[in-house]
Amino acid sequence: MATKILLDKINIPGIKSYDVYRENGGYASVEKALKTMAPDDITEQVKASGLRGRGGAGFPVGLKWSFIDKKSGKPRHLVCNADESEPGTFKDRYLMEYIPHLLIEGMITASYALGANLSYIYIRGEYMWVFKTLERAIKEAYAAGWLGKNILGTDYSLDLHVHCGAGAYICGEETALIESLEGKRGNPRIKPPFPAVSGLWGNPTVVNNVESIANIPWIVNNSGDDYAKIGLGRSTGTKLISASGHIRKPGVYEIEMGITVEEFINSDEYCGGMMDDRPIKALIPGGSSVPILPAHLIYKTANGEDRLMTYESLSDGGFESGSMLGSGGFIVYNDTACIVRNTWNFARFYAHESCGQCSPCREGTGWMEKVLHRIETGHGTMDDIDLLWNIQSNIEGNTICPLGDAAAWPVAAAIRHFRAEFEYHVLFPEKVKDRNHYVNEPFSSIKHLINK
Amino acid sequence: METKKYKQNINITPELQQRIDELLSHYPADKKKSALLPVLHAAQDAHDNWLSAELMDKVAEILGITSIEVYEVVTFYTMYNQKPMGTYMFEFCLTSCCGIRGADDMMEYACEKLGIKPGETTPDGLFSVVGVQCLGACGYAPMMQLGDFYKEHLTREKIDQIIDDCKAGKVILHDK
């Protein structure tokens, strides 16, 4: 059985409540940290662990903490990014819903390390019942003395609150999240200055993902070195993967990094294999923004090596033959899925969610959505495929925040790996008028028609 | 703003005022504007799930900010309704896995059953149906949001049941 760091207690009855959580070793990391460790010792342990940000970017957490401005004398803040909004990703909700005190424990220990006395959990507004679950858990933590003035009789005090957003994907970007937390539109800020210098209300701020923070108690209770022994190479520790699509057992799984993609999809411990035993057609391993992989690049890299569930292996070969681990939003497609329709679906999402601040994103995402809709419904031309390529390449890298890249990459990868399906849509408009055109006639059985 | 077309009775009840005071206590005294999003949620929940211009003005007054600061936020975020909605608002996720697991069919079925189109409200004011972008429940697709909660793994039969339960007043919309 694989090591579990985040979900090891998830099946204990009543673990959502403070009493049961505490009886099962909860809040031990706060006790250890406040009574025996200096704040910088914790940062060093997190650095040693090799923990990388679990929100998608994969930036080393300890290094990010070390950037926080401690010399300005301004108040510091820790903000937990719980604005989980990347299509395909639903792992953080699982943690917060079923074991909310784990996140609160991590927030206290991490806030102590950063010297923050006022911290927030920014949660997406749609997760309203999770927001209320967290509110109740925070009240329990206050009542038990883990939050508030002079925690455990030490000099350290912390106020922690949960703050709800209101339905904007862009608020998952850290500077947009801070703007939103200040009561404004979620428009990303230009960096620099980075939040570590000027974040919430102009104060030094660290923004970390839920899963990243939930790892902190284990690292403090054990050690950074012990954490680094789990996983493979620079992909240390475990990772929550939210698996969905045409698999037998969709859900949230904790894996040790380094298992093969084939094992993750086909073993009974995880996804349980393909739904209805249909062949696998494509995979998005890290949420909608990362490039899609065609069947021949899912289980093996371009070099013929086993594809592993690690940051490095999933990105092997760059975007030509690889993708990204991203947020761990793992979407599996069988042969009935229409890649053009799926790409249009994502394009519609990014067009809807663009904040409109940067022209390439504001104009480009909407334009891509229109062209893709045209092709998907059988009204496109061959020139439209080249036009799409041209539009996405003019968005990528030309926006303040990564939403532009997130919108461009899926389109580029779909054309790169599945151009024949786009051409089929242009050549056989009558066939694709049916919304579920590949369900009864998978593309693999009709692709020969393109060359006739 | 669309909201100017509609009238609403503004009522800051003691319960709502208490909730607003609690939310305000979460932020430094000179950063009251930070409470804007949570306060708008509370105000909307207490006023039949929508925000009129008058209600937004009231929120601005409570937070000590200008009305335009409230309007620009309300028009940016999708969860604030600027017109009256049905008591039971079916928000179907159409993105990602919901898209490949039949979300469009589910929404069309609900609309057909209720005799409305996406974005519309039934004449009795009981139901609205809207399509929304990703709700983060991809493993439990297709799904919809109803009040504070998610209804997952939807089938036609489940939609029938949910509609019947709503009509019978058996559906709880808010997690108290």
Three-class SS of chain B = CHHHHCCCCCCCCHHHHHHHHHHHCCCCHHHHHHHHHHHHHHHHHCCCCCCCHHHHHHHHHHHCCCHHHHHHHHCCCCCCCCCCCCCEEEEEECCHHHHHCCHHHHHHHHHHHHCCCCCCECCCCCEEEEEECCCCCHHHCCCEEECCEEECCCCHHHHHHHHHHHHCCCCCCCCC
Q: Would you call A345 and B80 a contact, using CB atoms and an 8 Å cutoff?
A: no
Cα gap B83→A315, rounded to integer Å: 46
Using only C-alpha atoms, chain A has a radius of gyration, in whole angstroms, of 23
Across A429-440, b (16+ Cβ under 10 Å) vs e yields eeebeeeebbee
Measured torsion, CA atoms of residues B62, B63, B65, B66, in degrees rounded to the nearest 10: -40
Q: What is the pLDDT of residues B29-82, one digit of tens each?
A: 999 999 999 999 999 999 999 999 999 999 999 999 999 999 999 999 999 999
Chain B residues inside the 8 Å CB shell of A93: 136-137
Q: Would you call B145 and A126 a contact, using CB atoms and an 8 Å cutoff?
A: yes
Chain A residues inside the 8 Å CB shell of B132: 167
State the first-to-last Cα distance of chain A, in angstroms, to the nearest integer: 52
B contact test, residue of A128, A346, A348 with most B CBs within 10 A: A128
Which residues does A13 contact at the CB level (< 8 Å), separation at least 6? A20
Give the nearest chain B residue to A351 (CA atoms). Answer: B133
CB contact at 8 A, A162 and A120? yes
Report pLDDT for A105.
Answer: 98
Judged by DSSP in three states, A398 sits in: coil
CB contact at 8 A, A218 and A8? no
Cα gap A452→B148, rounded to integer Å: 54
CB contact at 8 A, A294 and A343? no
A contact test, residue of B34, B39, B76, B134 with most A CBs within 10 A: B134
Chain A residues inside the 8 Å CB shell of B153: none
Report pLDDT for A1.
Answer: 66
Q: Would you call A345 and B99 a contact, using CB atoms and an 8 Å cutoff?
A: yes
Question: Which residue has 């510091």 as its token pair?
Answer: A76
Q: What is the pLDDT of residues A265-300, one digit of tens each?
A: 999 999 999 999 999 999 999 999 999 999 999 999
Report pLDDT for A2.
Answer: 81
Give the single-character DSSP code of A172.
G
Cα gap B67→B64, rounded to integer Å: 9
Share of chain B above pLDDT 90, in %: 93
Query: Within a 13 Å sphere around the CA of A286, how many CA atoms are in the beta-carbon half?
Result: 25
Out of B72, B96, B147, whose CB is closest to A288? Answer: B96
Give the nearest chain A residue to B102 (CA atoms). Answer: A436
Chain A residues inside the 8 Å CB shell of B174: 128
Give the nearest chain A residue to B73 (CA atoms). Answer: A185
Over chain A, what is the mean pLDDT? 96
Total CB pairs under 8 A between chain A and B:
144
Confidence of residue B6 (pLDDT cuts 50, 70, 90): confident
Report pLDDT for A38.
Answer: 97
Q: What is the pLDDT of residues B89-123, one digit of tens each?
A: 999 999 989 999 999 999 999 999 999 999 999 99
Residue type, A21: Y
B contact test, residue of A86, A121, A126 with most B CBs within 10 A: A126
Which residues does A316 contact at the CB level (< 8 Å), separation at least 6? A301, A302, A303, A305, A307, A322
Q: Closest Cα of chain A to B168: distance in Å?
A: 23
Class of residue A318 by CB neighbours under 10 A (exposed 0-12, middle 13-18, buried 19+): exposed
Out of A93, A132, A245, whose CB is closest to B100? Answer: A245
Chain B residues inside the 8 Å CB shell of A126: 79, 135-136, 145
Cα gap A166→A171, rounded to integer Å: 9
Chain B residues inside the 8 Å CB shell of A186: 76-77
Q: Would you call A169 and B73 a contact, using CB atoms and an 8 Å cutoff?
A: no
Residue B28 dihedral angles phi and psi, to the nearest 5°? -55, 150
Chain A residues inside the 8 Å CB shell of B137: 90, 93
Complex confidence, ipTM? 0.96
Report pLDDT for B7.
Answer: 85
Regions of chain A where pLDDT drops below 50:
none
Chain B residues inside the 8 Å CB shell of A167: 77-79, 132
Q: What is the pTM of this model?
A: 0.96
B contact test, residue of A84, A89, A93, A184 with most B CBs within 10 A: A184
CB contact at 8 A, A309 and A259? yes
Chain A residues inside the 8 Å CB shell of B28: 118, 201
